[in-house]
Structure 1
Amino acid sequence: MTYAGISHLTTNRQEFQAQVPDWMPLDEDIVVLGSGVAEIALGVALAALPEQRRPVGVALAAFYAAIFPGNIGQYAERKDGFGLDTDGKRLARLFGQPALIAAALKAAGLPK
């Protein structure tokens, strides 16, 4: 998470902008920077606050759910980014998001 967040702010900034849907009322770069800061914070919190594992993991799962429309937008708007340069690749990416949500919930210790 922390690495991904840092890459939002640096090396992969344009790639992440491809995941911001056209209907988003905010500037693409603002969305990418904001989501990068959120990812850094969640990654650091997950690693540094083991006693807060449950709320941080749930927050991370919610974050992954909140950014899922961007993945749908990338598919629907046929935007290239991160090597997702075909409809098939962009469609396959959509199925990865539930796995990320499940991993975040597992990190939260859920389900019990």
Structure 2
Amino acid sequence: MKKEIKTTLTQNIFRILLAIFMVYAGFSHLTFNRIDFQAQVPDWIPMSKDLVVILSGIVEIALGLGLAFWKKKRAKFGWALALFFILIFPGNIAQYLDSKDAFGALNSDKARLIRLFFQPVLIAWVLWSSGAWKSWRANKNKN
């Protein structure tokens, strides 16, 4: 049986901050930033850009709420959110390569390039703050 990994107060604070950010970002996908998020959907995705933005917004809200409130599955939500960050990364790359402006601040190639380096930070943040990485290592060592 898998042992539940305890997280520190610092991890919990950072996890809740990330969860709030994800719920906010998901809400903004569905409302006031919907057009800006469409700039991140690569042209090669065979779906409506608006549908992709809506679906990703719903996923962000669900992952954020799960990360915040579902204690027994926290590590799984951490892995799911890390995977989500990996899956959306090609959209960030496409936005940079296609020089598509968004959100006011992403209005230059330099700004879009700098943004790319924050994706690994988000992945590390969620794996650490959710206890996902520590849980994986602890369970790996049991086998």
Q: Quick check: TM above 0.5?
A: yes
Equivalent residue number for residue 106 of structure 2 = 84
Q: TM-score, normalised by structure 2?
A: 0.76
Q: Structure 2, unaligned stretches of length 5 or more?
A: 1-21, 135-143
CA contact (8 A) 1:53 1:107 kept: no
Q: Does 1:74 align with 2:95?
A: yes
Equivalent residue number for residue 26 of structure 1 = 47
Q: TM-score, normalised by structure 1?
A: 0.96
CA contact (8 A) 2:85 2:119 kept: yes
Q: Does 1:98 align with 2:120?
A: yes
CA contact (8 A) 2:76 2:132 kept: no
| Cα distance per residue 1:27-64 (max 9 Å; x no partner) | 10000000000000001111110121100000000000
Equivalent residue number for residue 84 of structure 2 = 63
C-alpha distance in 2, partners of 1:98/1:25?
A: 26
Q: Does 1:9 align with 2:30?
A: yes
C-alpha distance in 2, partners of 1:79/1:91?
A: 12
| Cα distance per residue 1:6-36 (max 9 Å; x no partner) | 1100011011011111111111000000000
TM-superposed CA distance for 1:109, in Å, is: 1.0
CA contact (8 A) 2:95 2:112 kept: yes
Amino acid at match of 1:84: L
**Percent identity between the two aligned chains:** 56
3-state DSSP class of the match of 1:84? coil
3-state DSSP class of the match of 2:81? helix
State the structure with more CA Rg: 2
CA contact (8 A) 1:61 1:104 kept: yes
Q: Does 1:111 align with 2:133?
A: yes
C-alpha distance in 2, partners of 1:107/1:66?
A: 20
Q: Which aligned segments of 4 or more residues in structure 1 are displaced greater than 6 angstroms? A: none
